[in-house]
């Protein structure tokens, strides 16, 4: 058996034991351990396009290899946690101001505050120039959609896009333990549409460990919708 055949055979065996797939670098490491006599460069040369060389392997997202027998299986739903989405609103509002520094003030909103079928952001913030700023910039609005249920990520992304009607920047905030393929797709969509992407620990409302994956691109909203939305929260946001 040639080194190429040994590498492919062992790679298939490894992937067969990993229902969620294996990242490229991890697969290389596992193959090195299993085949210590095969040079590392030989392993790289025979697996970088493994999904095109072996019918039992697919590549659902960049850098992720998956055994074909797992490709049609839906990811297991996230376990029910004894936490509510609303518990993350205030921590994220604080994080927007103090860590990401996208806002000078941010408040939890959520619910049906805007009374609009297009949805209400879970958190909305404002960025205003400070008295100490030499160059004064225009006021900016930042909106965020926080999603605890990983089954609703597509809907959440659509909502984050809708918030661009009245926001200069819009973010979607999702659990970091969501399916790897879903996170990869969200990453690509966020970069295409200019939506910010944030990961967090959905099991820890008191320490969510928010982590920015894609920073939101600034764009000019429709001022009609800006004023229509802000009328409902003006006193709280600008107090």
**CB distance 88 to 173 below 8 Å:** yes
- Residue 80: what pLDDT? 55
Q: What is the DSSP letter of 82?
A: S
Q: With respect to CATH, is domain 3-70 assigned 1.10.3470?
A: no
Q: Which residue pairs, CB below 8 angstroms and at least 24 apart, start in 85-89? A: 85/110, 85/122, 85/146, 85/147, 85/148, 85/149, 86/110, 87/205, 88/122, 88/146, 88/148, 88/173, 88/200, 88/205, 88/208, 89/122, 89/123, 89/146
Token code pair at residue 65: 């290899």
Q: Which is more confident, 71 or 16?
A: 16
- Calculate helix-pair angle for 180-193, 153-162, nearest 10 degrees: 10
What is the reported pTM? 0.73
Domain ranges across the chain:
3-70, 85-237
Which of 177, 200, 197 is closest to 186 using CA atoms?
197
> What is the tens place of the pLDDT at every residue in 88-145?
999 999 999 999 999 999 999 977 777 777 778 999 999 988 878 888 888 999 999 9
- Residue 60: what pLDDT? 85
- Calculate helix-pair angle for 24-34, 3-16, nearest 10 degrees: 120
Q: How confident is the model at residue 73 (pLDDT cuts 50, 70, 90)?
A: low
> What is the tens place of the pLDDT at every residue in 134-144?
888 889 999 99
Q: Which residue pairs, CB below 8 angstroms and at least 24 apart, start in 150-155? A: 150/75, 150/77, 150/78, 150/174, 150/175, 150/177, 150/178, 150/179, 150/182, 151/77, 151/78, 153/178, 153/182, 153/186
pLDDT higher than 70, residue 77: no
Question: Mean pLDDT, the chain, as a whole number?
Answer: 90
- Residue 135: what pLDDT? 87
Q: With respect to CATH, is domain 85-237 assigned 3.40.91?
A: yes
Q: What percent of the chain has pLDDT over 90?
A: 66
């Amino acid at each position: 058996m040639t080194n190429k055949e040994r590498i492919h055979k062992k790679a298939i065996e490894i992937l067969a034991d990993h229902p969620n797939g294996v990242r490229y670098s991890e697969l290389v490491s596992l193959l090195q351990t299993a085949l210590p006599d095969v040079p590392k460069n030989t392993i790289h040369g025979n697996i970088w396009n493994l999904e095109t060389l072996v019918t039992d392997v697919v590549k659902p997202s960049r850098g992720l290899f998956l055994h074909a027998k797992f490709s049609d299986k839906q990811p297991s739903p996230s376990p029910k946690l004894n936490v509510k989405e609303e518990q993350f609103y205030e921590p994220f509002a604080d994080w927007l101001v103090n860590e990401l520094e996208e806002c000078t003030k941010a408040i939890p909103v959520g619910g049906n505050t805007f009374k609009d079928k297009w949805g209400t952001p879970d958190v909305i913030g404002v960025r205003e120039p400070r008295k100490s700023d030499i160059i004064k910039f225009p006021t900016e609005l930042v909106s965020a959609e926080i999603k605890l249920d990983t089954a609703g990520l597509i809907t959440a992304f659509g909502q984050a896009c809708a918030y661009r009607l009245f926001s200069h920047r819009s973010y979607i905030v999702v659990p970091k333990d969501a399916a790897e393929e879903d996170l990869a797709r969200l990453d690509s969509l966020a970069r295409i549409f200019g939506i910010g992407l944030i990961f967090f620990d959905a099991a820890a409302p008191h320490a969510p460990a928010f982590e920015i994956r894609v920073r939101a691109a600034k764009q000019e909203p429709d001022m009609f919708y800006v004023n229509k939305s802000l009328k409902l929260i003006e006193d709280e946001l600008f107090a």
